[in-house]
Amino acid sequence: MGTALIYDEEMTKYKLLWVDPACKIEVPERLSVSYEALVRTGLSDRCVSVPPREASDAEILLVHSEEYLEGVKKTPHMTLEDLKEFTLQYGDVYFHPNIYHCAKLAAGSALQLVDSVMTGKVRNGMALVRPPGHHSMRSAASGFCVFNNVAIAARYAKQKHGAERVLIVDWDIHHGQGVQYCFEDDPSVLYFSWHRYERQKFWPNLRESDYDSVGKGSGAGFNVNVPWNEVGMENSDYLSVFCHVLLPVAYEFCPDLVLVCAGFDSAIGDPEGEMCATPDIFAHLTHLLMNLAGGKLCAVLEGGYNLTSLAQSVCQTVQTLLGDPLPQLANLRSPCESALESLQCVRSVQRRYWSILKHAGKTATDSATTDVSTKLIKLAKAEEEKAETAEDERSQEEKVWPEPAERLRPPVCSVSVLPDDAACPDGLKRLVSSKDLGPLLVSRIRNRSMEDAGDADGVATFSRLYTLIEKMRTNEVPSPSTGLLCGNGVALVPDVAAAVDLNCFHSSSFRVLVVCVGKEELNYATADGKMLVVQISGEDKEEQKGKYYIPVCLKKGCGDTVGFIQAVFGLLLPLGYEYDPGLVLLVRMPGSGVGDCMWQQLIGLLKGFAKGHTLVLMQTNDGACMGPTASALLGHPAPPLQELLTPLPDDGGALERMRERLQADWKMLQTTVSSGN
Ligand code: Q9C
Ligand code: ZN
């Protein structure tokens, strides 16, 4: 199952015909440079090319009024003077004799993409379109937008393909007020948007773009706004919002389809956004959404006005949709205070509607309400001072950042290490050879496997495992003999404890994130920070030992999906991003109680770290989940977690308290402004 790419040169064939400083950044080259970058990098060749079509009147009327459509229909025949006058009714938009044609193609492209994904012709895809859509309203053009491409696509997916729940993620730096208005009272469409806001000083300057617009009537809770009150937001700010707001809510919503308002004016160098997130962040944002809705994701271009940053961001998005290993995000910083304030506000209004956020921020810091409000006043003052000294638009164009590093590309293989009598799942490569390990290592393996497993195969299995880890660590280029690059793997070993230990004594050259699901007695060597161990289990015996051993207890065990998801998004992912491992070891203890769907989701999500170098360790007698494991390693999307639709009473309070405790050591766990001063 592939990735669709929709592009047509026709949509470059309209432009601003008069002088208007507000509109001069919306140029035809936005589309051509994006497409050319995909061609140059060989990405477009790997996609399924899908042609656009014109949206029909009936389809446009799913969102827009007849009067508005009739008005736009007249624009191809207007004189320049008439076009200018028609344009004057609306804000920050321009018309051209060919824009109506392009707007029908842009909306139709989104519909073609939805058709391709919903019928299973492809898994996911991206449409490169102009004009953008998310600002246009029922009866008005706005912000370069004529028809609301993504809103039309959402209604169409419901009507034509029976989608019951559609998630719209708007990562463009402007608020898609058109999308918000369209679905405000509709609980079947969840709209998430982050946007430059600056306490209403930034366009479109709407009161209803703030965090407290949560939707109306039965749609309450289905509109999630994250206002950015300062410019300069970075990768860590974006990831925090994904981990602590969007992803928990999106998983609880359990969509049948994900639509992305994929604007790249939220990237560094953009003159509108003035943010500092690098283009490779879009690889991660895309990846984090790819296990929702069984992988059905349609990205539709919105904004993006720095041609360099735009083209790089588009490539990162498409390469991720294709399933290539993720880039490592270099030196992630802590989320800034202003971002934390937004996060805190959003979580505290949304926790009324989402059981997964029920415990958000109602502990220690929140009880000191006066402290927090003093802090917020200070923050607002600091913002004002900053705004006065802010760099102007020109300096954005001159901003420099390193070009994203070349990413690993196929053929990347998934490898298995198995006992001789176990069958290798389809699609995985069985590792049979192993390196000479040296006498010291052999004797250590022999000692461990004798005492712990008493298995004669032990040495052979462990030496293959050792070889596999070495390959993942060092084979950043395809092996000359096989042409293959070793991406991830799974090992069935007689004793997972011994296997973790084996890794531990030769891994001193890189950091290992060990995720242990289920109860395990081990003496992890975590003191030096070479390993970070996160253990999710149903038992409450273990105490946290130092910064690098984090036991997470779910009172109702690993079968508690809500608890597990809270632990994954609230703790594991932010910790992983901050720790930045070179290898992820996912250890599955027998009898952990984790369900197959959750297990696949976990593998899928962990593949975002360490350039996809994930090694799953399971015990030989636990081979039943080999199928789901192999499927997730091969990059098949995990099935949706339906059980989140009717969550059980949870014990998330304990998790929240744990997160608060760990915040001193791990900044990505913060979700509130720091109390005190
Ligand atoms: N400084 C989209 O990104 N304001 N539209 C321009 C110029 C309008 C952006 C002000 C921005 C509209 C799809
Ligand atoms: Zn925008």
Distance 306 CA to ligand 1 centre (A): 13
Q: Name which of 86-90, 521-525, 665-669 the model is least confident about.
A: 521-525
Q: Write the DSSP symbol of residue 483.
A: -
What is the sign, positive or negative, of the torsion defined by CA atoms of 200, 205, 209, 215?
A: positive
Nearest CA to ligand 1 atom 12: 143
Ligand 1 pocket test: which of 92, 195, 309 has the largest number of ligand atoms within 8 Å of its C-beta?
92
Q: Dihedral (C-alpha) 274, 278, 284, 286: value to the nearest 10 degrees? A: 50
Does the beta carbon of 22 lie inside 6 Å of ligand 1?
Answer: yes
User: Which pLDDT belongs to residue 677?
Assistant: 43
Measured at the CA of 323, the angle between CA 322 and CA 327, to 5 degrees, comes to 110
Confidence of residue 341 (pLDDT cuts 50, 70, 90): very high
Of residues 640, 675, 660, the one with CA closest to residue 571? 660
The full DSSP string for 518-556 is S--------TTSSEEEEEEES---PPP-STTEEEEE-TT
**C-alpha 20 – ligand 1 centre gap (Å):** 12
Residue with tokens 């497993």: 453
Single out the catalytic residue among 64, 135, 174, 613: 135
Which among 203, 270, 302 is the best mutation to test ligand 1's pocket, defined by most ligand atoms within 8 Å of the CB?
Answer: 203
Q: Does the beta carbon of 650 sit less than 6 angstroms from any atom of ligand 1?
A: no
Regarding the beta carbon of 274 and ligand 1, being less than 6 Å apart is answered: no
Residue 636 is among the residues annotated as catalytic for this protein: no
User: Which pLDDT score, from 0 to 100, does residue 546 have?
Assistant: 86
Mean pLDDT rounded to a whole number for the chain? 91
Dist CA 245 CA 258 (whole Å) = 16
Q: What pLDDT does 378 receive?
A: 77
| Cβ burial, residue 646 (10 Å; 0-12/13-18/19+) | exposed
| HEC profile of 135-189 | CCECCECECCECCCHHHHHHHHHHHHHCCCCEEEEECCCCCCHHHHHHHCCCCCE
Tell me what pLDDT residue 212 has: 98
- Number of residues that this document lists for the chain: 677
Interval 386-417: pLDDT, tens: 776 665 656 787 899 999 999 988 889 999 99
Could you give the residue ranges of the DSSP H alpha helices within 231-297? 235-241, 247-253, 281-289
Write the residue with the smallest CA distance to atom 5 of ligand 1: 143
Ligand 1 mean position to 143 CA, how many Å?
5
Which residues have a Cβ under 8 Å from the Cβ of 57 and sit 6 or more positions away? Answer: 69
Amino acid 590: pLDDT: 85
Tell me how far apart the alpha carbons of residues 585 and 569 are, in angstroms, rounded to a whole number: 18
Q: Is the ipTM of this complex over 0.95?
A: yes
Q: What is the pLDDT of residues 181-213, one digit of tens each?
A: 999 999 999 999 999 999 999 999 999 999 999
What's the CA dihedral at 198, 202, 206, 207 to 10 degrees?
A: 20
Confidence of residue 80 (pLDDT cuts 50, 70, 90): very high
Measured between alpha carbons, how far is 605 from 612 in angstroms, rounded to an integer?
A: 10
What pLDDT does residue 436 have? 64
Asked if the bond preceding 204 is cis, omega within 30° of 0, the reply is: yes
Average pLDDT score over residue span 334-358: 97
What is the atom index within ligand 1 of the atom nearest the CA of 304? 3
Ligand 1 centroid–CA 647 distance in Å is 40
> 109 CA to middle of ligand 2, Å?
19
Q: How far apart are CA 34 and CA 25, in angstroms?
A: 15
The confidence score (pLDDT) of residue 368 equals 47
In the reported structure, the alpha carbon of residue 75 is separated from the centroid of ligand 1 by a whole-number distance in angstroms of 21
Beta carbon of 656 within 6 Å of any ligand 1 atom:
no
263 pocket-lining for ligand 1 (C-beta < 6 Å): yes
Q: Which helix (H) or strand (E) holds 262?
A: strand 257-262
Task: Find out whether the beta carbon of 265 lies less than 6 Å from any atom of ligand 1.
Answer: yes
> Given ligand 1 and candidates 99, 129, 135, which is best to mutate, with the most ligand atoms within 8 Å of its CB?
135
Amino acid at 237: D
Does 580 score more than 80 pLDDT? yes
Provide the edge-to-edge strand list for the sheet that holds 166-170: 48-49, 2-6, 122-127, 297-301, 257-262, 166-170, 189-196, 223-228
Q: What is the pLDDT of residues 497-516, one digit of tens each?
A: 777 776 655 556 789 999 99
Q: What is the Å distance from ligand 1's center to 209 Cα? A: 15
DSSP category for residue 233: -
Distance, in Å, from the CA atom of 185 to the CA atom of 180, rounded to the nearest integer, reads: 9
Section 250-275 average pLDDT: 98
Name which of 6, 165, 133 is nearest 59 in CA terms: 133
pLDDT at 433: 74
Q: Among all ligands shown, which has an atom nearest to the Cα of 174?
A: 2
Mean pLDDT within 155-161: 98
Flag whether pLDDT at 565 surpasses 90. Answer: yes
What is the distance between the alpha carbons of residues 669 and 128, in angstroms, rounded to a whole number? 35
Compute the distance between CA of residue 300 and CA of residue 127 in angstroms, rounded to an integer: 5
| Across 57-71, 466-480, 631-645, least confident range | 466-480
For residue 221, the tally of other CB atoms under 10 A from its CB is 19
Q: How far apart are CA 231 and CA 512, in angstroms?
A: 34
Domains annotated on the chain, with CATH: 2-398 (3.40.800.20), 486-669 (3.40.800.20)
Q: Look up residue 7 and give its two tokens.
A: 């592009």
CA-based nearest residue to 515, from 599, 634, 595, 611: 599
Give residue 459's pLDDT. 75
Evaluate: CB of 204 within 6 angstroms of ligand 1: no
How many CB atoms are closer than 10 A to CB 332?
19
Which residue's alpha carbon is at the smallest distance from atom 6 of ligand 1? 22
Give the closest residue (by CA) to ligand 1 atom 13.
303
Q: Which atom of ligand 1 is least distant from the CA of 21?
A: 7
In short, whether 255's Cβ falls inside 6 Å of ligand 1 is no
C-alpha–C-alpha distance, residues 440 and 252, integer Å = 50
pLDDT higher than 80, residue 112: yes
pLDDT of amino acid 367: 46
Cα R_g (the chain), whole angstroms: 26
Whether 95 lines ligand 1, by a CB cut-off of 6 Å, is no
Query: What amino acid is encoded at 354 in this protein?
Result: W
Q: Is 135 near ligand 1, meaning CB less than 6 Å away?
A: yes
The response to whether residue 302 sits with its C-beta less than 6 Å from ligand 1 reads yes
**Omega cis (within 30) before 639:** no
Question: Ligand 1 atom 7: the closest Cα is on which residue?
Answer: 22
Residue showing tokens 């470059």: 12
Residue 652 CB–ligand 1 contact under 6 Å? no
Q: Is 5 helix (H, G, I), strand (E, B) or coil?
A: strand
User: pLDDT per residue over 471-496, tens digit each?
Assistant: 887 766 667 677 678 899 999 988 88
Ligand nearest to the CA of 302: 1
Shortest-distance atom of ligand 1 to CA 305: 3
- Residue 305: CB atoms within 10 Å: 24
Within 10 A of 525 (CB to CB), how many other CB atoms are there?
A: 17
Round to whole Å and give the CA distance between 549 and 395: 44
Distance between Cα 25 and ligand 1 center (Å): 8
- The reported pLDDT for the residue numbered 364 is 45
Under the banding of pLDDT at 50, 70 and 90, the label for residue 421 is confident
- Amino acid symbol at 457: D
